[in-house]
Amino acid sequence: MPRTPVLIVGGGPVGLALASELGWRGISCVLIEQGDGTIVTPKMNEVNIRTMEFCRRWRIAEAVHACPFPPDYPLDVVFVTSLSGYELGRMSRPPRMSEKPEPHSPMRLQVCSQMWFDPILQGFARSFPHVCLRYRTRLESFEVSATGVAAKVVDLESGQHERIDADYLVGCDGANSMVRSSLNIELNGETLGHPVHLYFRAPNLLERCGRQPATFFVTVDRNGAWSNVRIIDPLNAMWRLMVLDAGVGSTPETVDRDAYLRRAIGRPIAVEWLGTSVWTRHSVVAERYGGGRIFLAGDAVHQLSPTGALGMNTGIADAVDLGWKLAAMLQGWGQEGLLASYDAERRPIGARNVKLTAEFYGEHGKFDGLAAIEEDSAAGAQVRQRIGESLVSGIGRMFRTAGLQLGYCYEDSPICVPDGTPPRPDDPEDFTPSTRPGSRAPHLWLDDSHSMLDLYGHAFVLLRLGSGAPDASRFEAAAASRRVPLSVITVAKPEAADLYKHRLVLVRPDGHVAWRSDEMPVNPTTIIDKVRGASKIFIQ
Ligand SMILES: Cc1cc2nc3c(=O)[nH]c(=O)nc-3n(C[C@H](O)[C@H](O)[C@H](O)COP(=O)(O)OP(=O)(O)OC[C@H]3O[C@@H](n4cnc5c(N)ncnc54)[C@H](O)[C@@H]3O)c2cc1C
């Protein structure tokens, strides 16, 4: 096989997103995946707002919207003693179709199971002739030299061994990453439990339980919050029961799935079983995200409790951050500091998301004094009344995460130019848009269908905002002298100047702010060098 610029190991959603991002940037890559791409028991179900913004940029958002999850299906979260038991609390989340637009984004969170989402990414990556996806191919080992990476792979169908040479190798090879362990990179954190997933088909389950449609049910009985039941595919009546912690040593063969189901539903019910998976809830982040010619992304470097639906979404943001930096190196305008900034920017976000999602999980253990909760008595009513609101405010936190999804900022990034303003509070629930360097550049509708986010992607963008924004020709000349792709865009809309707060804002290809000011800098080349990773100079 001819040498490839980037070899991606792992064709889960993160590897596919990296192949897509590189393909979209015109960079050739080869992705190898040991499986055949089929997803039997999907894990991920919620594609969050930020990932949907990336999908909009890749022009696949419509395909995600068109997935088989009905757009008019209520996304409500309901706290119940069991599906046939008492309702304790409800968070109303209207169907996507009737939802008001997000104030801070052109996109909304989309429920789209991994069994639909991965194939959309696959199809998009495959649409680039310079992207090659090779299934049933496993990485066996690799060696790094000053000039490249030599990988030994095996074709699992034919048994044939092959060598693939690459400029860079990226391990998107999941929780048990062979790439990570080959680099002796440790994971730091804790184990939070041993959940069990039970997948089943049960037509008319909610009607049979006397319930209105909702997407997610948290069950709380006399022993506390112990499971959740989620509809995955309403049209095919496919459900998943997650037992939060079944204890060490459970196996699919030993799990008493009928007993768990009876407890969650509140009575015996016949279902068609579709699959069982036993896993470990980790809350860990790697001590390094790679470096040099080998990088890691996704579950290979962070494993989050799924409380908050952030695992894949965090990994896809890794892929987007790494993608433009690899492209810059391969196109010749990026310098070593750019690749080093991947770890500096993304690892703190991995640690932040790991910590917060563990906190969300911890909310499940905060309820006691529940002995009477299922009783048809005054004492029972009192317990149910007492805990209803605290379930919504506590466990419900994991569904109120606009700040967590959009508010991450690359503090202390070596390729952003700090402007001396203090960090903003990192509130997981509420999102406040900002152009503080390192932040995601804010959204504003420019007309009925175009967002300011649509301006960002292929090149750096220097925005000239408001009346009297300084002439930017010296900045353009500085970028051209370093072959850094830059578009200068004047946005006359007064609301844009109000929102962006400064007259000049430099936005990176990933949509994060690199620099802002009201004045042209004395030497724009210093800024261009900083943002392309060529400078170690601290610029004020
Ligand atoms: C119950 C549950 C619910 C979740 N819900 C959400 C959610 O709603 N939203 C969200 O964002 N996240 C969610 N997640 C997390 C999400 O599923 C993971 O974070 C995501 O799948 C990680 O993607 P990845 O591509 O990094 O790794 P993986 O999906 O694990 O993919 C890694 C791939 O690498 C391949 N591979 C490994 N070694 C090799 C090798 N040597 N050679 C070739 N191929 C190799 C594997 O076969 C695998 O396909 C959930 C997780 C769980 C458990």
> What is the residue with the minimal CA distance to atom 21 of ligand 1?
312
CB atoms within 10 A of CB 452: 24
CB atoms within 10 A of CB 165: 15
| Distinct helix (H) and strand (E) counts, the chain | 14, 24
Q: What percentage of the chain carries pLDDT values higher than 70? A: 99
Short-list 312, 340, 317, CA closest to 175: 312
Please give the Cα distance from 144 to 165 (Å, whole number).
10
Please say if the pLDDT value at position 231 is more than 80.
yes
Which mutation among 55, 161, 164, 299 tests ligand 1's pocket best, with the greatest number of atoms within 8 A of CB?
A: 299
Ligand 1 centroid to 53 CA: how many Å? Answer: 20
DSSP 375-409: -SSHHHHHHHHHHHHHHHHTGGGGG--HHHHH---
The whole-number pLDDT of residue 6 equals 98
Region 509-527: mean pLDDT is: 97
Please give the Cα distance from 75 to 217 (Å, whole number).
10
Structure tokens at 164: 């693939």
The whole-number pLDDT of residue 536 equals 61
Q: How many angstroms separate the most distant Cα atoms in the chain?
A: 78
Please say if the pLDDT value at position 213 is more than 70.
yes
Please give the Cα distance from 79 to 397 (Å, whole number).
13
Ligand 1 centroid to 401 CA: how many Å? Answer: 21
Please give the Cα distance from 144 to 169 (Å, whole number).
9
171-207 residues labelled b (16+ CB within 10 A) or e (exposed):
bbbbbebbbbeebebebebeebbbbbbbbbebeebbe
The residues with which 90 forms a beta bridge, in sequence order, are 78
Please say if the pLDDT value at position 538 is more than 90.
no
Instruction: Decide: 216 and 232 in contact? Cβ < 8 Å.
Output: no
pLDDT per position as a tens digit, 44-96: 999 999 999 999 999 999 999 999 999 999 999 999 999 999 999 999 988 87
Q: Which residues contact 66 (CB under 8 A, 6 or more apart)?
A: none
| Ligand 1 close to Cβ of residue 110 (< 6 A) | no
Which mutation among 30, 43, 231 tests ligand 1's pocket best, with the greatest number of atoms within 8 A of CB?
A: 43
Res. 540 pLDDT band, cuts 50 70 90: very low
Instruction: Decide: 142 and 173 in contact? Cβ < 8 Å.
Output: no
Ligand 1 centroid to 312 CA: how many Å? Answer: 7
Which amino acid does the sequence have at 523? N
Q: What percentage of the chain carries pLDDT values higher than 90? A: 93
Please give the Cα distance from 464 to 505 (Å, whole number).
7
Residue indicated by tokens 């850094």: 484
Short-list 336, 346, 344, CA closest to 529: 336
> What is the residue with the minimal CA distance to atom 1 of ligand 1?
43
Among 90-94, 119-123, 167-171, 334-338, the range scoring the smallest mean pLDDT is: 90-94
The three-state secondary structure class of 3 is coil
Q: Which residues contact 88 (CB under 8 A, 6 or more apart)?
A: 79, 80, 81, 220, 384, 387, 388, 391
Instruction: Decide: 213 and 207 in contact? Cβ < 8 Å.
Output: no
Rounded to the nearest integer, the mean pLDDT of the chain is: 95
DSSP 300-329: GTEE--STTS-HHHHHHHHHHHHHHHHHHH
Which atom of ligand 1 is found nearest the CA of 312?
Answer: 11
Give pTM, 2 decimals: 0.96
Please say if the pLDDT value at position 99 is more than 80.
no
Which atom of ligand 1 is found nearest the CA of 300?
Answer: 26
The whole-number pLDDT of residue 539 equals 42
| Ligand 1 close to Cβ of residue 308 (< 6 A) | no
From first CA to last CA, the distance across the chain in angstroms is 48
| Ligand 1 close to Cβ of residue 51 (< 6 A) | no
Residue indicated by tokens 């317990």: 383
Please give the Cα distance from 381 to 198 (Å, whole number).
31
Region 441-448: mean pLDDT is: 96
Please give the Cα distance from 102 to 124 (Å, whole number).
26
> What is the residue with the minimal CA distance to atom 41 of ligand 1?
139
Please give the Cα distance from 428 to 274 (Å, whole number).
35
The whole-number pLDDT of residue 459 equals 97
Q: Which long-range contacts (CB under 8 A, 24 or more apart) does 420-425 make?
A: 420/540
Ligand 1 centroid to 86 CA: how many Å? Answer: 35
395-429 residues labelled b (16+ CB within 10 A) or e (exposed):
bbbbbbbbbbbbbbbbbebbbbbeeeeeeeeeebe
pLDDT per position as a tens digit, 386-398: 999 999 999 999 9
Which atom of ligand 1 is found nearest the CA of 303?
Answer: 19
| Torsion region of 298: left, alpha or beta (phi above 0 gives left; psi -120 to 50 gives alpha) | left
Instruction: Decide: 77 and 140 in contact? Cβ < 8 Å.
Output: no
Please give the Cα distance from 219 to 81 (Å, whole number).
5
Short-list 68, 64, 38, CA closest to 51: 64
Res. 1 pLDDT band, cuts 50 70 90: confident
Structure tokens at 252: 């699919």
> What is the residue with the minimal CA distance to atom 30 of ligand 1?
174
Region 326-339: mean pLDDT is: 97
